[in-house]
Amino acid sequence: MSERDEFGAFLVGFIVGGMTGAVVALLMAPQSGEETRALIRDKSIELRDRAQHTAEETIARAEKAATDARARADELAHDLRERGRGVIDAARKARKGGEETPAA
């Protein structure tokens, strides 16, 4: 869960920082309205591309984590089956050892 919390904090900081930068740029820019609109458009495209890249990275990390979890679950299931077989075999041997042999 810690990675998820860290990513959430990163994402919030990223968005807030981007918005703050955009506002400061608009207020401090000595450009005309047309130039400002072009700048806003360019920055919004850049921000969209960064967000898309971050989302793709997050999806890839989630898919890897899911694959790793499935592999670990399969490994644990295999180990559990092997242990169960061992317990069953031990119980059968104990039962056979405790049975009396019929007199001939």
Instruction: Please state, for a pLDDT cut of 90, what percent of the chain lies above it.
Output: 31
- Phi, psi at 30, each rounded to 5°: -95, 40
- Whether the full predicted model's pTM is greater than 0.85, yes or no, is no
pLDDT over threshold 70, residue 59: yes
Mean pLDDT across 48-54:
89
* Distance from C-alpha of 39 to C-alpha of 56, rounded to nearest angstrom: 26
CA distances, 38 to each of 15, 16, 42, 43, 85 (Å): 20, 21, 6, 9, 70
| Range of weakest confidence among 32-41, 47-56, 58-67, 93-102 | 93-102
Q: Is 96 exposed, middle or buried (0-12, 13-18, 19+ CB in 10 A)?
A: exposed
| Site of tokens 């850049």 | 46
Confidence class for position 39, pLDDT limits 50, 70, 90: confident
Average pLDDT along the chain: 83
- Phi, psi at 85, each rounded to 5°: -60, -40
